[in-house]
Amino acid sequence: MAYFSPDYSPKKGGGQRKLGIPTVLDRVAQQVVKHHLEKVVEPKFHSSSYGYRPKRNAHQALEQANSNTYNHDFAIDLDIKGFFDNIDHELLMKAVAHYCQEKWVLMYVERWLKAGIMQQDGKQLATLTGTPQGGVISPLLANIFLHVVFDNWMAKHHPEKPFERYADDIVVHCKTEKQALYMLRQIQKRMQTCKLKLHPEKTKIVNVRGFSEKKYPKGYDFLGFTIRPSSYKHPNKSEVKTIPSLFVSRKSKSSILAKFRELQIHKKRKTLEEVAKDLNPMIRGIINYYHKFRKSDMREIWWQLNIRLLKWVKWEKGLYKKASVTYLRTRYKENPRLFAHWSLVCP
């Protein structure tokens, strides 16, 4: 029993994350164990855990984070260094055994953790720590581990401190700078006890109000959005209030634009309808996720996409810029829903 040679996916903070791809038989077996184990642990999971759980999603986590940020001046943006690669197998097995005593489940989980990875040259690479991402059961095992390491620990020792966790993305909220500094020290100790480390550069205290002697960052990124202060003036009053708001993060915008560049739309030798058919699933996915909170932030993204469509017209039709604009606007008038984003930003 082994995982196929790993692929790699980019990490949000740079670098690459190893993805272990399980065999077909292992995927089926993992699905069976996941279904059984999920029924046992799901009712016990913390209400502030949102990642990879039934009927829970990133939008709920973002709404809760924004609400908690509104009521707390400070936040701790936690980054666990190499979390998925550094989960201790012995501690993870203890966590699983705490909630599920069936021997067959424990046997399979332990075998998958220690299965190793079959490399392209036929050699087997041992896995001494971590859960191989790409496995069906890996997100559930990670949730079980962090429920014990963090969620349950917070509920027992710091129940007054709200937090949101989506997989290994965690934000903790505090009323004061003193509380934030204390909580960060406590969390660091807890992680060390559980053989994990906080990333010293990426973990940070954030002051969302800006009222303190020491200068802290005023915003933090969470699940593709930035939560930071925003000035708000009541229409019938002269006072200006500063409240935390959700904005599409710069990293998310850069990532989307990079994806548009990778697609090389202008080189597609297809009809405009075929180009739309290729792009619309991705466009709708972006709209469904990012337009939930900040539709206006995405106008520049759709404007950039329209520029790339203009470039396609120039290449495919052999037209100059002005004629390309006229062509695309004519097609828009004929079918304003041809591209999913045209109802938001016309060409």
Q: Which amino acid is at 183?
A: M
Select from 247, 265, 289 the last residue of a domain: 247
Looking at residue 31, what is its pLDDT? 94
Which residues are registered as beta bridge partners of 117? 3, 125
Report the predicted TM-score, pTM, of the whole model to 2 decimal places: 0.88
Domain that holds residue 62: 2-247
Contact status, residue 29 vs residue 121, Cβ threshold 8 Å:
no
Q: Residue 39: inside a domain, yes or no?
A: yes
Q: Residue 345: inside a domain, yes or no?
A: no
Looking at the predicted structure, is the pLDDT value of residue 156 above 50? yes
As a whole number, mean pLDDT of residues 224-249 equals: 82
Instruction: Report the 10 Å Cβ neighbour count for 107.
Output: 11
Select from 247, 275, 310 the last residue of a domain: 247
Q: Are residues 134 and 176 in the same domain?
A: yes
Q: Are residues 187 and 212 in the same domain?
A: yes
Looking at residue 284, what is its pLDDT? 98
Contact status, residue 132 vs residue 3, Cβ threshold 8 Å:
yes
Q: Are residues 320 and 174 in the same domain?
A: no
Which residues are registered as beta bridge partners of 241? 232
Looking at residue 120, what is its pLDDT? 59
The CATH number given to whatever domain includes residue 226 is 3.30.70.270
Looking at the predicted structure, is the pLDDT value of residue 131 above 90? no
Q: Residue 344: inside a domain, yes or no?
A: no
Q: Are residues 235 and 285 in the same domain?
A: no
Q: Are residues 43 and 166 in the same domain?
A: yes
With H, G, I as helix, E, B as strand and everything else as coil, classify residue 74.
strand
Select from 195, 216, 247 the last residue of a domain: 247
As a whole number, mean pLDDT of residues 224-234 equals: 85
Q: Are residues 187 and 67 in the same domain?
A: yes
Q: Residue 341: inside a domain, yes or no?
A: no
Rg (the chain; Cα; Å):
24
Domain count, the chain: 2
